[in-house]
Structures are given as structure tokens and as C-alpha cells.
Structure 1
Amino acid sequence: MLLSARRHNSLLSWFQLSRFRYLSSSTSSFAVDVVAGGIPSPDSHFIVEYLMKSCGLSAAEAAKASKSLAHLPSAKNPDAVLTFMRSQGFNAAHLREIICFQPKYLCWNVEKNLSPKLQTLREFGFSQYEVVDIVHSSPSILSLSIHGRLVPRLKMWESLFGSRHFILKHFRSKKRFFYFNIERVLRPNLKFLRDECGISEERILVVLRVNPDLLSLKPDTLRALVVRADELGVPRKTGKFIWSLSALRMVSKEKVEAQRKFMKSLGWSDSELSSLFSKSPTLLGLSKELLRRKTKYFVEEVGYTLSSLAQNPTLLALSLEKRVIPRLRVMEMLRSKGLWTQEGMPILYFYLSNTKFMNMFVHRYKEVIPELLDIFSEFELGEKGNDASHLDCEN
């Protein structure tokens, strides 16, 4: 009886407080339903209303999230969490997405759970804006223990990437990379690639900065990829080997065989295909239609043989529309005016950066042939920089 009376008085006090806060239009309030006899009884409606009003969730989102918050006795803790997060730079949109991802964050203690983790990220060198970006991009980072998981991972990836810039970049695009197991996955894979495959750490890191998921593979899976790369004929000592692992990860054995069979139907020999894929394994990911169209264009329009393409496979990775066709038309126009006498199109000219190609063949003759500039406007040829390594590719 005494316990029942205490519970009744506690619930009644909570109900009266919630009702008062709601009627006084505070920034947030919990509400309860009143059952028969006037005894207040907690109901999910008060949580749903709170999540909609204070966190900006839709009715459906709030109903789903409320299931994780049924035990909350009042709005005190959620209010404290929201107030703190806003003070750290999180806006309404950020909070809505974070709470949708993990409603239980509203139950956490600000001083014990949230503040130390945001402080750790700032102490690691991230600005307040970057911390907001990281947590918004990957809210589960808040669930990591500071010394057991958060700090070791930050140090591990900084040592691999060499800068916070790449960590932040991958938080935005490849959120899973940060949660790979260090001792069971990352370190064994690094050791295998470096010590058993003879791949320099420098080459490994170049690929990781583009695709850190490669290190996340189970060690047995990575070893199987190495076997496939060996079978493809990619020399381990070349820079192509580590890229071939990344490419093969996305292409099944069955697709590789289907790709080889299709290419043979276009006239490629086994030896030419071995040369082609060993030198440029990323071509395994191109669609059959692209391979057909590019092979046909280089052979019929440019005049290359399949053998020459096999020796220069990155030609097939170039964009026809953005690079190959406009440059070929420039050379044809120069030839028609007697300003270019060499037959064919030397492979080197396809690899020149835009700046060099424009200076050598467009700006140099634009007074005589102003139409040269129209060719580039027509195809909207563009390149991300002036280095020939930035090749326009199609997938």
C-alpha cells in the first residue's frame, strides 16, 4: 500500500509538472494520458509529441524513436542533451538526423557521455565545425569508448592517411572505414601486404586514401584477392598490383571470365587480354557497352590496332566525349588546313594535360582557326587539374 501510494504521488507530481510546462509553452514538454479515475499513466504519446516538437521528427519517425525512450521519467535529460548539442554547433537538421539514428542519445549524461567525446575530437585537432560534421556524418562515433576504441582508431587512421583531411573526407563518404577492427583486421592486412606481398607502405597508402575499405576485408578474403591478381598476371612489384586488388574486390570471378569471353568476341586474343588487364585491372569494371564502343572507336576512327591498345590499356579508360573525340577533331582540323602533317594521332597527345594540349594545338592556332575553341565548348571538355594523372574516365 505504501509503495503504491508513493508511486501514485510520484506519477501525479510528474503529470502536474509536465502539464504545467506544456501550458506555459516552454521549449519542450512531456505529456501523459489520464486514465479512468483521474490517475495519470505514462503513455508513448507524450514522447512522440516531445520528439516532434523539440527534435523536429515527423510523426512516423517520432513513433519509431519513442520505443527506445519509454523508460524516461521526464524531459529533464533530453532537454539537457539538446541544449548541450546546440551549444556545440549542431543545428535542428543535425539533431533530427542524429536522434533518428539513435534516440537513446537523449538518455545520455552530458558530462559523462557526450561532452568528453566531443572534447576528445577537438583535442585531436578537429575544429568545432569539423566535429559537428563528423558526428553528423557518422553518429555512431558517439557510442565508442574514448580510450578503448575512439582514440586508438583516430591514431591508427592518422598514421595511415598522414593527415586529418583524409579522415574527415572518408567520414563524409565512407563512414564504415572508421569502425574496422584494428587488431584482428587492419594490422594483419597491412602486415600481409607489406611483408608477404612485398608492397611498399607508400603504395598501400596511396590506394587507402582513395579506398580505405580494402583494408577492412577479412584477412582470408584479402589473401584470396591476391591469388586472383597473381592469376591475372599483375606483377606484385608494380604499382598496378595494389590497384588490382581494389578492382578485383568489386568484380567476381564469374564477371572476369564473362568479360574476357566478351572481349574475345570483339577480336582480342588471350595474350592481348592478359596484357590489357594486367596493366590496367580497373578495366574489368567497365561495362560491356563501353568496352565495345571504345574498342570500335580506337580501331576504326583512330586507327590503332588491338595490340597497341593492349600495350596502352589506359586509353580505354579515357572518356571518348570529354577527351578523345575533341582532341582528334582538333588534329583533323589542323591537318585540313595544312598545319599538321603527321599521319594518325600519337598516343601521347591523348595523355597530355588540358593546359599543354590547349597551348600546343589550340591557342597556338586560334587566330588562324578560331573554330578550334568551338570544339572544346561543344564537348565541354574539362579536367581536374593540369597533371596527366587526372584522366577522365567513364564507368
Structure 2
Amino acid sequence: MSSLILHHGRRSLKLHKWPNLRVSVQNPFSFSNSFSSTSAKDGRKGQIFTISYLIDSLGLTANLAESISRKVSFEERRNPDSILNLFRSYGFTDSQISSIITDYPRLLIIDAKKSFAHKLQVLQSRGASSSELTETVSKVPKILALKGDKTISRYYDFVKEIIEAGKSSKFEKLCHSMPQGMQENKIRNLSVLRELGVPQRLLFPLLISDRKLVCGKGKFEESLKKVVEMGFDPTTSKFVNALRVVQGISEKAVEEKVNVYKRLSFDVGDVCEMFKKYPVSMRLSEKKITQKCETLKKCGLLEDEILSVFPQCIGASEKKIVKSIETFKDLGFSKDEFAFMVKHFPMCINISAETVKKKTKFLVKKKNKFMVKKMKWPLKAVALYPQVLGLSMEKRIVPRCNVMKALMSKGLLGNRESKLPLKEAVLLCTDEEFLRMYVRNHDDKELVAELMALFNGDRVL
């Protein structure tokens, strides 16, 4: 079975240019009507507080703050304030702190005095300057999750070496930074990945991970060769994800998983392409694969439609899909409309319920402070152009609607509904097209300046 997948997924590459990779692999693996919901009021309260706190304290965007709040939440600011103040006392900028919290949000709820402060003291004792400390920790914040002073110090030194090696292109000196054995293998394997072009931002998590992905030798080299031959781009996270999957799954398990997909009408080529786009597809259990397909049927999709939509719904849990069905139903979309939306914009399933409600109500509401009545959308229009749900409220929807409102108020778009531009064209065209059609095409320089201010968000109607 794996040979069939290999036929679909393999590409010819010469690996001799990477001297650290010398294992020859003979048979490389390749890939080539139910509405329910649950709510937790206390959890939601903490999430709302967390979102507000992150926006106010660190200036994060609403979307990013919401994403972090799904991983960690709290209902009072004393401990997170202590964490942020401690960071600032060591010279971390708000930008660096934001990057750290985004990558390792659990820092906000650990004990600031007993755990966090001591770890920063240990790192400072390495003799690094303030700028070296802040740069190193902000690049690999999970160093602060390690236990034991010696472990923290050792990994800190190694991360600093990687940063300096990246600047000087002398990565080989890392081989002398760690003790013999497993850590030496890790250095060697990370060196191979770096030679392949894997960027630092992807190397760092592997460095401090407790997984065995880069600690072995033979298995690592064999798996790496397979992933390279499948054509994954080493500069992307998919490359590392694929490596993790290939190294953690046996040939027998591959065949069994392919057979599961085949029973659901996928062919080997489908499986290959799905693995290339979403490596995690080969780690789903048979139960989860079947459940996702059954749930998509509840959305009203036909079998061939499920085959095209399924890969993009891999990251959505059963609960998420069911919640999405309920959300769209509550907003007034019919089952057929929802099926159409999922088919043409599968990612709508992954958008949070709050975001879907906010954008839909904004676009179809008869009157609000951003749009006059004539600019409203019928609900059916949103169903026909579900891509608008993936647009940013702050960066696209509101600024463009403000521009259109200004033009309408000045009578520059005509007074009859038939003369108004199609709303989907206004929102879905590129920035350059929008500016050309509705902003820069006016002779009045003051008007153009006013519209540009609205477009850039410097002014709000």
C-alpha cells in the first residue's frame, strides 16, 4: 500500500549535498439535523476578562487575544500583572512580551515569585547582557517551562549559540556545545535540518521539546529522507509536522489508515494530497475520521462534496463542527445555505461562533453606526459569498464600509439601489482595486485625503 502512495507523492531529489544525511532507504514511506451545544458561564467569564486584559495590557489584536484566551484564561489581574512587570524589570519590551505570551500563554498563570522570577535569575546568572537575555528568551519562551537550574542553563546556552551561529553562518560549532549521547544526536539532527533550510523559529521548539523526534539517529535520517522525497518545503511548519508523523507511524499503520479513507470513498491520490496539505490527517483515528465525515453529512453535504471539504475540516473537532452548525442555524441560515457555505468556504467551520455572529449581524443589520440602510446585505448574500466571514472586521470590513458610507452621503454613488456597487465586490476586491475604484478616482484632493483616512482607519464615521 505504501508503494502506491509513494507513486503519488514521491519526487526525485539528490540529498548528497547534505553531508550529515547518509542513510540509504530502500522503501521510503510517502503519502504522496443534529444541533446541540454546551456552555460554561464561569469559563466564558474568564475568557472575556482575559481577552480584555490582553488587549489593554499588551495591545494585542482582538483575534489574537481571543485565540490565547482559548488556551489559558483568568478572572483577575494580580498574577498576570506580576508576570508582565517582572518581564519589564528585566528589560523586555512589550513587543517581546507579546511574542512570548503568544507562544507560551501559560506563563500568565504560573507563580510569578516562586517559579518565574527564579528562572529569570538563573538565566541572568549566565552572564548574558540584558539584550542577549531578552532576545534569547523571546525567541524560545518555553525555556521557562523547563525544570532544574542546570537544564535551564544548558538549553539557554544552546539557544544563544543557535542565534549567534545563525548570524555568523557557523552552525558547526554547536556540536561542541552539548554533552555526548542523546544531546549530541539532537545537535547533529538539528544541524541537518538547518542545512535543509528549516528556519530558526521551527528549530527552537524542537530543541527544547521532550519528544524524541530529533534525539535518535537511524530512524530520524530514514524519516527525514522520506519527507524530503515527498516534496515538503523545509521552510514551512508542514515539513516538521510531516516529519513528526512519518517518524511516529509504522508502515502497517499507514496501510490501515489508507484503507479507512478508501472505505469512505477516498482514493490513494486523495490521501496523498491530503497528507501533503494536512500531515495530521494520517494521525487521526478511524473513529475521528468516520465521525467527521458523518458530521459533514449533517451539514447537508453530498459524498463528493465531503471529499473536497474534508481535508480543510481536519483541524476542527466534532464539537466545533456541531457548534458551527448551531451558530449558522441560529443566525437564520437554512441547511442548504450552510451546505453551500461549507462547500465554497470550508474554513467557515473553523471561525469562532462569536466572530461569525459579529460579522454576520454587522453585514445584515438594517442600521448601525458604520453603514446606512442602503448598504445592508440580505442574509442570502452572505450565504452566497461566505468568504466575507474570513475577512478582518478592523482591517477590511469596517474601513471599506466607512468609505462607502462617506461616498453615499455625498451622493457620489447615486441615489438608487440599482446604481450602488455590489457589496461583495466592495469587500472581496484587493486593496489596490478598491482604492482605484472608490478613492483615487476623485479629482477633489481633500476628498481623497478624507477617504484615505477612513480606509486606513485613521478616522472613523
1:300-358 CA-to-partner distances (Å, cap 9, x unmatched) read: 25432222222222222222222122212222333344443322543123111222222
Q: Distance in 2 between matches of 1:91 and 1:206?
A: 30
> Does the CA-based 8 Å contact 2:359-2:389 persist in structure 1?
yes
Is 1:351 matched with 2:392? no
- 1:4-43 equivalences under 5 Å are none
Root-mean-square deviation over aligned CA pairs: 4.6
> Does the CA-based 8 Å contact 2:291-2:318 persist in structure 1?
no
Could you state the TM-score of these two structures normalised by the residue count of structure 1? 0.57
How far residue 374 of structure 1 moved from its aligned partner, in angstroms, is 0.3
Q: Secondary structure at the match of 2:347?
A: helix
Task: Give the structure 1 partner of residue 351 of structure 2.
Answer: 286
Task: Give the structure 2 partner of residue 95 of structure 1.
Answer: none
Q: Structure 2: which 5+ residue stretches go unaligned?
A: 1-121, 129-142, 165-176, 367-374
> Does the CA-based 8 Å contact 2:312-2:346 persist in structure 1?
yes
Question: Which of 272, 278, 297 is the aligned partner of 2:337?
Answer: 272
Q: Which amino acid aligns with 1:313?
A: P
> Does the CA-based 8 Å contact 1:280-1:314 persist in structure 2?
yes
How far residue 366 of structure 1 moved from its aligned partner, in angstroms, is 6.9
Q: Distance in 1 between matches of 2:387 and 2:353?
A: 16
Indicate how the Cα distance of structure 1 residues 123 and 296 shifts in structure 2: closer, same or farther if over 3 A, else same.
closer
Q: Distance in 1 between matches of 2:392 and 2:339?
A: 23
Task: Give the structure 1 partner of residue 403 of structure 2.
Answer: 330
Q: After the TM superposition, which of the residue ranges 312-321 and 282-291 deviates more from structure 2?
A: 282-291
Task: Give the structure 1 partner of residue 456 of structure 2.
Answer: 377
Q: Which has the larger radius of gyration?
A: 1
Task: Give the structure 2 partner of residue 384 of structure 1.
Answer: none
How far residue 295 of structure 1 moved from its aligned partner, in angstroms, is 2.1
- 1:352-367 equivalences under 5 Å are 352-365=429-442, 367=444
Q: Distance in 2 between matches of 1:283 and 1:87?
A: 39
Percent pairwise identity: 17
Task: Give the structure 2 partner of residue 136 of structure 1.
Answer: 207
Q: Distance in 1 between matches of 2:254 and 2:229?
A: 12
> Does the CA-based 8 Å contact 2:333-2:379 persist in structure 1?
yes
Is 1:197 matched with 2:266? yes
Task: Give the structure 1 partner of residue 227 of structure 2.
Answer: 157
Indicate how the Cα distance of structure 1 residues 86 and 251 shifts in structure 2: closer, same or farther if over 3 A, else same.
closer
> Does the CA-based 8 Å contact 1:303-1:344 persist in structure 2?
no
Q: Distance in 2 between matches of 1:329 and 1:87?
A: 47
- 1:165-244 equivalences under 5 Å are 165-167=235-237, 170=240, 179-186=247-254, 188-189=256-257, 193=261, 196-198=265-267, 200=270, 203-204=273-274, 207-208=277-278, 212-235=279-302, 237=304, 240-244=308-312
Q: Distance in 1 between matches of 2:459 and 2:252?
A: 48
Select the structure with the greater relative contact order (CA < 8 A; seq sep ≥ 6): 2
Q: Distance in 2 between matches of 1:200 and 1:128?
A: 27
Indicate how the Cα distance of structure 1 residues 175 and 65 shifts in structure 2: closer, same or farther if over 3 A, else same.
farther
1:113-151 CA-to-partner distances (Å, cap 9, x unmatched) read: 55456445545643698596464254644764322x202
Task: Give the structure 2 partner of residue 303 of structure 1.
Answer: 376
